[in-house]
Amino acid sequence: MTGTAISLTGVRKMFGDTPAVRDLTTDITAGSFTALLGPSGCGKSTTLAMIGGLLDPDFGDVRFDGRSQLGVPAERRPAGLVFQKPLLFPHLNVEQNVAFGLRMRRLDRANTRDRVTSILDRVQLGAMAKRRVGELSGGQEQRVALARALVLEPQVLLLDEPFSQLDATLRAEMRCLVKDLHTESQVTTVFVTHDQAEAVEVADTIALMLDGRLEGQGDPEMFYTAPPSLVAARFFGVTNELPGTVRTGVFTAASTGLRRPATLPDGPAVLVIRPETITLTSPSGDDDTMDGVAVAARFAGTHLAVDVQLTGGPLVTAHAPVTTSVRLGAPMTVGLPRAGGVVVAADLRHAG
Amino acid sequence: MTTTSRRVAAGAAPTQEATEPVARRPLSVRTGQRLLVGLLLVAVLLPLVPLLIWSVAGQWRYPDMLPQQLSLRGVGLLVDPRSDILQGLGTSAGIATAVAVLACLIGFPAGRAIGLYRFRGRRAVQFLLLSPVIVPGLAVTLGIQVFFVRYHLSDSILGVVPVQLMPTVPYAAIILGAAFANLDIDYERQARALGAGPVRVLLFVTVPLLRPAIAVAALLTFLISWSEYVLTLLIGGGQVKTLPLLLFAAIGSSDTTAAAALAVLVIAPPLLLVVAATRLLSGRSGNGVGFGRL
C-alpha cells in the first residue's frame, strides 16, 4: 500500500482574525502512521478537524485518495475520529457505544454483533461488553473509544491526543496497542500530539507544525540528524546553539571559530548541537575541542547535565555519564565529534 | 487550645479521641437533614389533611374536631356522569400534556441557543424569553385577547393551549438552556464522526443526553398548565372547563365537601407525577448532564 491517502493543498483556516492554519500543504502516505506534532495552539487539532470534516477550510483542498472532500460532511467521510476525551455516550453500554457507527450505517444485527465482539476482543475488553460506561477506568474508556472508531474500518484513523489524559504507564500501554492495531490493519493513521517523545516512539512519519505552518515532515530520525530549521531543532530538544555565518559552503562559528561544511546559501546560520553529542571526558583525536569552564551540573536520572561556559562563546550543555565527576569552576576542554552538530539557517522569524 | 487540653486529658487513647468527632459529625448532620426533610414534608402535607377529611365528611359542625359521620358523597360527585368533572380532568390532562410537549419543543432550540452559542444580543433574547414570567400574564392576555377573538381562537382549546405557552416556554427554555450550557458539545462532533447526520445526532445523542432536563422541563410546564386559571378563563371564555375552573366554581358554592373532593382530585395527579419523576430521575443521576437529581 503506497500512494497518497490524504493530501492537503494550501489549506487555510481563520478563527476570527487569527489564522489557525496558514497555507498548509502536505501529503500523507497511505498506510503510514503520521504524527502531527506541535505545541498547543499550533493548529494541529484544527488541521485534524478539517481532515475529519468537522471544520471546513477557508481556502485550499482536502483530498482522500485524490477525491476532494470539500463540502462532504464529517458523517460521510471515511474517517474514524478519536478525541482527547473518550466521549462515550453515557446512555449506552460499552457494546452499544461500539455499535453506534454500525447502527448509523444500518448494518444488520448479526453482522454488527460479530464486528463489535471481535473489535472488543481486540482491545481486550471482550468481557466488558455489557458494562455501563460509567463503570470503566480511564484507559478502558479510551480503548472503547478506539474500538468504536476502528469497528467502522475507516480509510483513515484520526487520533486527537487520545492518551494525554492518561497517566504515564497507561499511556505507554495505549501507545503499544495503537501501534499494534496499526501494524495489523495498516489503516492510514494521523495522530495529533504535543509530546515529541510520543511522536518519535509511535509514528513512522512526523509532520511538525509550528504557528499554523508545517515546519518539516519526515521520519523521526530526520528531526534528530538533520532538523529542517532552528525552531524544529529546538522543539526536538536541542539546547546548544553556536551562531555564525555560512560563506561559500563553509560554516564558521562566530565565537569559537568552529568550522563545518554547509549546504546552505551564504548568510547567517546556526550550528545546533544535541547535548548528548558533546563529550566531557578525554576527547578523542578526531574531535574538535573547545575550552571552557564548568559552571553547573545537574543530576538528571540517566545522565548528568553539565553547563559549560565556553571561552569567548556561549554556554553549552553536555550530557555526561552519571559517574563523571565535575569540578565546578575549573578550566576544562569539551570535545565535539567532527560529524557532530547540524548547520541550520538562522531563524529570522523568531529572532531573539 | 481546647483540643490540646482534651487530648491531654484523654491520655491513654489519643488516637480514639482524634477519630471520634470525625466519625460522629456526619451522623449528626444526617440526622439533622432527616429532621429538616421531615419538617418540610409536614409543612407541605399538613394543610392537605383537613382537605382530605373534608372530602369524605358527611356532617361536620363547629365544636367537633372530626366529622360526626363519613360519607362518599364528595367522591361520588367526582365520578357522577352528570357533573362535568371527569370531562374536566380529561381537558386539563390534554391541555397540560399538549402545553408541556409544545413548550419543550419550543424551549429546546431556544435553550440550545442561549446555552450553547455566544451571539450578539444573547442577553436581550434571554430577557425577552423571561419577560412573560416578569410581566403579569393577565395584563398581556387582556391585550392579546383581541387577536385570539379575531382569529377565532378564543373559547376553544385551540386558543387555550397557545396562550398557556406564554408562562411555560420561558421555564422550558431556561431549564434546557442550563442543560445545554452543561452539555459537552463534543459528543455531537463525535457522533457525526461516527456517521450520524444532524437529525440522528439529535435523536440518538443530544436528546438522550438531555433526557433528565427534558423530563424536568416537561414536568414543570405540565404543572404550570395544570394549575393555570386566569389565562384559561380569559381565552377559554368559560367554554374550556379545566379542573381549576371547576374548582373555583365549586369553592364559590356552599358545598365544602364537594369542593374538597375536587381539590384533592386537582392536587393528586401532580403530586404523583412529581414523586414518580423524582424516583425515575434520581435513579439515573449518572447521566452526566445537569438536573440528574431533582
**Other CB atoms closer than 10 Å to residue A65's CB: what's the count?**
15
- Among B187, B194, B211, whose Cβ lies nearest the Cβ of A101? B194
Among the residue ranges A131-140, A278-287, B78-87, the one predicted with the least confidence is A278-287
Is the domain of A195 the same as that of A340?
no
**pLDDT value of residue A8:** 94
**Higher confidence at residue B120 or residue A35?**
A35
Query: A81 and B211 in contact by Cβ < 8 A?
Result: no
pLDDT class for B288, splitting at 50, 70, 90? very low
Q: In this structure, are strands A304-310 and A342-345 parallel, antiparallel, or unpaired?
A: unpaired
The distance from CA B76 to its chain's CA centroid, rounded to whole angstroms, is: 29
A221 within domain boundaries: yes
* Contact list, B187 vs chain A (CB under 8 Å): 87, 89
Predicted pLDDT at A282: 66
Chain B nearest-CA residue for A48 = B193
Q: What is the reported pLDDT for B4?
A: 41
Tens digit of each residue's pLDDT (9 = 90 or more) over B149-196: 888 888 889 999 999 998 899 999 999 999 999 999 999 999 999 999
The ipTM of this complex is 0.83
Check pLDDT > 50 for residue B18. no
Same domain flag for A102 and A248:
no
Q: Of the candidates A225, A253, A278, which is a domain's last residue?
A: A225
Instruction: Give me the pLDDT at residue B283, please.
Output: 57
- Statement to judge: residues A159 and A306 lie in one domain: no
Separation in Å, CA of B287 to nearest CA in chain A = 6
Residues A55 and A160 in one domain: yes
A19 with A116, same domain: the answer is yes
Say whether both A94 and A155 belong to one domain: yes
Sort out which chain B residues have CB atoms less than 8 A from A79's CB and list them.
193
Level-2 CATH architecture, domain B94-255: Orthogonal Bundle (1.10)
Pair (A70, A188) in one structural domain: yes
**pLDDT at position B172, please?**
95
Give the pLDDT confidence of A227-270 residue by residue, as tens digits.
Answer: 988 989 989 888 789 889 999 889 988 888 888 888 888 889 99
- Mean pLDDT, chain B, whole residue set: 82
Mean pLDDT of all residues in B252-278? 85
Please check whether residue A327 lies inside any domain of the structure: yes
Domain extents in chain B = 94-255
CA distance A98 to chain B (A): 10
Residues A170 and A301 occupy one common structural domain: no
Contact A83 B208 (CB under 8 A): no
Q: Is A128 contained in some domain?
A: yes
Q: Which of A197, A225, A253 is the last residue of a domain?
A: A225
A297/A171 same-domain check: no
**Which structural domain range is residue A262 located in?**
238-345
Per-residue pLDDT at B250 = 85
Q: What CATH number corresponds to the domain at position A156?
A: 3.40.50.300
A185 burial level (CB within 10 Å; 0-12, 13-18, 19+): middle
A141 falls within a domain = yes
A352 lies in a domain?
no
Please check whether residues A326 and A181 belong to one and the same domain.
no
pLDDT given at position B8: 40
Domain count, chain A: 2
pLDDT in tens, A69-90: 999 999 999 999 999 999 999 9
In a domain, A149, yes or no: yes
Rounded to an integer, the average pLDDT of A291-297 is 89
Q: Is A104 in Cβ contact with B200 (below 8 Å)?
A: yes
